[in-house]
Amino acid sequence: MQTEGEETHAYRVASRERVGCLRIGRSTRGFAKDHWAHEMLGDRVSVPRIWEIGQLDDKRAFCLSEWIPGATLQDLTAAEVEQALPAVFDAWSIIAGCDVENISGYGTFDPETQVAAHETWHGLLRAPADKAASWDSAWTAPRSGQLAELLDTYTALVGRCPGERRLVHGDWGSNNLLVADGRVAAVLDWEDAAIGDPLQDVGKRFWATWPPVTTCVTLQAAYCEARFGDVPGYRDRILCYDLHRGLDGIGAALADGAHTWADWAFRRCLELVQQAR
């Protein structure tokens, strides 16, 4: 059986001795992070054991790991998602409490060097706004007023976010969680694991109108609001991380010439700010 993600193709493979998952991707980087996650957290959170990582050729890498049965969170019914959410965020809390003292910096990190990409959390958050000055002027000019207001709002929110140094999964929920019988069967895809504020994993409402994950993300947002809403600065932090995702997406889309996608992301950012007022 084959499944296709944004970065990899995955196949269920079996022999007489064992059943595994073979993934084909562009590099070993993400697979190495998966191995790191299993070694760090596998005794507390289900992360598939990695059996082998290697290079197929100069453009393709492979990873062979154990196969863990389950359905992705986004493929469950609304009732099944609601049933699973307490276990989902119990697992998230364990991950957020992982000891990361040996990793320096903030943001995504190399599991071998134990060094993250940014010196400060606020520097990481400011990066998409700083890059806005170099966005395609033909796109920004007609939106200059709204864009300036959005960037001002975002910059103010960045200043309200604490510089926490904890483990962030980086792509939490939706298709990276396998659920079976209401429990978390496996946490997958650790390539974007980072050091920072774990609430960045919760700030996923940017995607709440995207059809493939609308129900899943909306239910997660409501659950987190109820369970974690008393955390200091919760709403400002969630909005900041949602806008960070949106601004980063706009910049990437404009760099690729994908103006339709940039338009959607910009409108979604404005909607989130309006909803927060």
pLDDT in tens, 59-107: 999 999 999 999 999 999 999 999 999 999 999 999 999 999 999 999 9
Residue 231 to residue 23: CA distance in whole angstroms: 38
Helix (H) or strand (E) holding 166: strand 166-168
What's the half-sphere exposure (Cβ side, CA atoms, 13 Å) at 82? 7
Tokens of 220: 């997660």
pTM of the full structure: 0.92
Could you tell me the pLDDT band of residue 209, with boundaries at 50, 70 and 90?
confident
pLDDT score, position 3: 47
Q: How confident is the model at residue 173 (pLDDT cuts 50, 70, 90)?
A: confident
Structure token digits, residue 7? 């970065």
Q: What percent of the chain has pLDDT above 70?
A: 97
Residue 189 in tokens: 């895809």
Q: Look at residue 277 and tell me whether its pLDDT is greater than 90.
A: no
Residues of the chain with pLDDT > 90: what percent?
90
Joined tokens for residue 217 = 């993300």
Average pLDDT, the chain: 94
CA–CA dist 54, 261 (Å, integer): 35
Residue 4 binned pLDDT confidence (cut-offs 50, 70, 90): very low
